[in-house]
Amino acid sequence: MDNNRRPDNMARITTKELAEAFIAEQIELVRKQVGDKKVLLALSGGVDSSVVAALLIKAIGKQLVCVHVNHGLMRKDESENVIKLFEGELDANLIYVDATDRFLGLLENVSEPEKKRKIIGAEFINVFAEEARKLDDIDYLAQGTIYPDILESIKQAEGKKAVKSHHNVGGLPEDLKFELVEPIKLLFKDEVRVVGEALGLPHAMVYRQPFPGPGLGVRCLGAITRDRLHALREADAILREEFDKNGLAGKVWQYFVVIPDIKSVGVKDDSRYEGWPAIIRAVNTKDAMTATIEEIPYALLHHLTYRITHEVEGINRVLLDLTPKPIGTIEWE
């Protein structure tokens, strides 16, 4: 049997009971697979890797070694929250690597979107591989592969072209040969969330909006600079806070801020004030292949404009992106 194909008779995991049965089964399988050996996991803090981490902590405790790489393109407080939850609450064996300077150094003056993606993806593997080499007794690599990833690889193997080079850990260097542990590879995203909640992960983490591997790097358009990246992080935090407060967070699939590499003239305290525009994008979709625009109440848009332009240094305009997918992709790069 091809164990990368979901069996036709596999029941959809929709309830806590079904999730618990799945978890119990996977715990057994993982224990049988790895014995007393150690397992490495790149823990980004996204839903998939977090669910795998929580599942493996239950199955093998400290035999799981999580590596969280902060590439400097995370959202506000994101790495801190990963550490708080996994190290603080779940007692995970967690290695934190702040690689901000490495990534931002490599990205300096690089404005071509695919080149940026490739640099971020490759450097992620470099940093992760360096950490893996420091640990000499690891035999297994756990991954948060889910069924849509497998379907996507099948599609690509059949010769269909991807629109963007998405990055996930994979393609580790030759000297690092691990056997894979992929406990959620036959699950769809909605099932991963049900399993995550059954594992006791916080609702906000399990239902959080998707965040691309290259992070804010694909939203700080063109060549990334630290000041514009900082402005983006702050503006994005305001948008997320207001969506949470106004009941939109659970309703809108993905919402974020983009900052292009252009400045316009403004006025502040009676003086000329050149600044970047913050672009708000809020979309709904089922599968990310197409997307529609979520309407944001005008009062909230005015409030967001006020807060972002008054609280974030360097932003003097707020714009709204009304473009569906297609023609625009969800991310700008």
Q: Is 330 in the site for ligand XMP (CB under 6 A)?
A: yes
Least Å distance, CB 208 to ligand XMP, is 12
What does the angle CA 214 – CA 249 – CA 73 come to, to the nearest 5 degrees? 20
Taking the least distance from each CB to ligand XMP, the nearer of 87 and 149 is 149
* Three-state helix/strand/coil letters over the chain: CCCCCCCCCCCCCCCHHHHHHHHHHHHHHHHHHHCCCEEEEECCCCHHHHHHHHHHHHHHHHHEEEEEEECCCCCCCHHHHHHHHHHHHCCCEEEEEECHHHHHHHHCCCCCHHHHHHHHHHHHHHHHHHHHHHCCCEEEEECCCCHHHHHHHHHHHCCCCCCCCCCCCCCCCCCCCCEEECCCCCCCHHHHHHHHHHCCCCHHHHCCCCCCCCHHHHCECCCCCHHHHHHHHHHHHHHHHHHHHCCCCCCCCEEEEEECCCCEEEEECCEEEEEEEEEEEEEECCCCCCEEECCCCHHHHHHHHHHHHHHCCCEEEEEECCCCECCCCCCCC
Specify the stretch interacting with ligand XMP by CB under 6 A; choose among 10-18, 73-81, 159-167, 180-188.
159-167
Taking the least distance from each CB to ligand XMP, the nearer of 212 and 275 is 212
Specify the stretch interacting with ligand XMP by CB under 6 A; choose among 59-67, 267-275, 311-319, 323-331.
323-331
Of residues 29-88, which lie at the interface with ligand XMP (CB under 6 A)? Answer: none
Taking the least distance from each CB to ligand XMP, the nearer of 78 and 331 is 331
Q: What is the C-alpha separation between 111 and 131, in angstroms, rounded?
A: 29
Specify the stretch interacting with ligand XMP by CB under 6 A; choose among 74-82, 88-96, 180-188, 205-213.
205-213
What binding mask, one character per residue, do residues 239-258 give for ligand XMP by CB under 6 A, x or -?
A: ---------------x----
Considering only 38, 118, 167, 189, the residue that binds ligand XMP (CB under 6 A) is: 167
Taking the least distance from each CB to ligand XMP, the nearer of 283 and 318 is 283
Of residues 263-322, which lie at the interface with ligand XMP (CB under 6 A)? Answer: 288
Q: What is the C-alpha separation between 316 and 268, in angstroms, rounded?
A: 9
Considering only 3, 8, 101, 163, the residue that binds ligand XMP (CB under 6 A) is: 163
Q: Is 123 in the site for ligand XMP (CB under 6 A)?
A: no
Least Å distance, CB 292 to ligand XMP, is 13
Of residues 206-235, which lie at the interface with ligand XMP (CB under 6 A)? Answer: 210, 212-214
Least Å distance, CB 115 to ligand XMP, is 14
Q: Is 164 in the site for ligand XMP (CB under 6 A)?
A: yes
| Residues in binding contact with ligand XMP, number by CB under 6 A | 14
CA distances from 67 to 20, 98, 119, 126, 129 (A): 26, 11, 20, 13, 10
Least Å distance, CB 116 to ligand XMP, is 11
Least Å distance, CB 9 to ligand XMP, is 30
Considering only 37, 134, 166, 302, the residue that binds ligand XMP (CB under 6 A) is: 166
| Positions in the binding site for ligand XMP (CB under 6 A) | 163-164, 166-167, 210, 212-214, 254, 288, 325, 329-331
